[in-house]
């Protein structure tokens, strides 16, 4: 199914995002009493998390995961969990029992990936099904910590992981091309299996990657493959990312 695409000012994109999130969360909670989400970091988190904290959703029914995390403790400035805590989790009073972070501070990243995989499977099933995945996009078309020109960009098997099972939903990354190099990430299969994938990209530097993903059927970037594989997706672009 082709993604729905909105190109607008950031203020309007926030409202569109909030409406979609609220609708999806409420529908899923009404159907099965919980909703499983996966959060991003970066500019998407900074733009969207404050409005999430104001929504009339029951956060006691929402299980919170992340699409990726850097190999740092949660109080580190680079931590995606730390950013979410400041902008969303604390303001929205999300119960600690509903927060399932990746433990990037562990010295053994493969152990951290296995721990995150076990927790994800316990909550979201095997294979895991996330109800809503919120995904940012890099200038090169990467999503989460899945980068192009890497063996893991189009499959779950990755040569930039060490000792990690190919079918593991969370994998360790040791050589990401942008710092920090060490990371944990959901695989493309987990993201593509989400009930709804919301992809957001802001700024002219993202325009080429998004144009390729939306307009060219043979584009090999992770964001392009994610949008091809996801059964339901929404793309939110500011005018620079959508029209440059």
110-161 pLDDT, tens digit per residue, is 999 999 999 999 999 999 999 999 999 999 999 999 999 754 444 443 434 4
Q: Is 110 left (phi over 0), alpha (psi -120 to 50) or beta?
A: alpha
Return d(Cα 111, Cα 170) in angstroms, integer. Answer: 11
pLDDT score at 161: 46
- Closest among 117, 111, 53 to 83, alpha carbons compared: 53
CA distances from 51 to 48, 88, 92, 177 (A): 6, 8, 10, 31
pLDDT score at 217: 86
pLDDT score at 156: 41
202-226 pLDDT, tens digit per residue, is 999 999 999 999 999 889 999 999 9
| b (16+ CB within 10 A) / e for 180-204 | eebbbbbbbebbbbbbbbbbbbbee
| Residue 150: half-sphere exposure toward Cβ, Cα within 13 Å | 25
pTM recorded for the entire structure: 0.93
The rounded radius of gyration (Å) of the Cα atoms in the chain is 16
pLDDT score at 244: 55
Using the predicted structure, report yes or no on whether residue 201 has a pLDDT greater than 50.
Answer: yes
52-71 pLDDT, tens digit per residue, is 999 999 999 999 999 999 99
Average pLDDT (21-48) is 97
147-193 pLDDT, tens digit per residue, is 997 544 444 434 344 444 556 899 999 999 999 999 999 999 999 99
Domains recognised in the chain with CATH numbers: 4-179+197-235 (3.40.50.1360)
pLDDT score at 160: 45
Looking at every residue in the chain, the average pLDDT score rounds to 92
């Amino acid at each position: 199914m082709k993604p729905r695409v909105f190109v607008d000012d950031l203020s309007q994109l926030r409202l569109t995002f909030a409406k979609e999130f609220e609708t999806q969360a409420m529908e899923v909670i009404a159907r099965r009493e919980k909703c499983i989400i996966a959060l991003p970091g970066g500019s998407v988190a900074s733009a969207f998390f404050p409005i999430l904290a104001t929504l009339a959703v029951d956060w006691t029914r929402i299980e919170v995961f992340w699409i990726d995390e850097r190999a740092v403790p949660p109080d580190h400035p680079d931590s995606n969990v730390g950013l979410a805590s400041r902008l969303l989790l604390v303001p929205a009073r999300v119960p600690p029992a509903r927060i399932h972070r990746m433990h990037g501070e562990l010295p053994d990243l493969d152990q951290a990936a296995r721990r995150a995989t076990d927790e994800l499977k316990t909550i979201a099933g095997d294979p895991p099904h996330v109800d809503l995945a919120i995904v940012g996009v890099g200038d090169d078309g990467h999503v989460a910590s899945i980068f192009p020109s890497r063996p893991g960009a189009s499959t779950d098997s990755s040569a930039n992981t060490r000792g990690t099972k190919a079918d593991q939903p969370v994998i360790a990354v040791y050589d990401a091309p942008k710092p920090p190099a060490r990371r944990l990430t959901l695989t493309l299969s987990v993201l593509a299996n989400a009930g709804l994938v919301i992809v957001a990209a802001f700024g002219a530097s993202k325009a080429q990657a998004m144009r390729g993903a939306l307009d060219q059927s043979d584009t090999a970037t992770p964001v392009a493959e994610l949008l091809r594989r996801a059964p339901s997706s929404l793309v939110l672009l500011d005018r620079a990312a959508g029209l440059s």
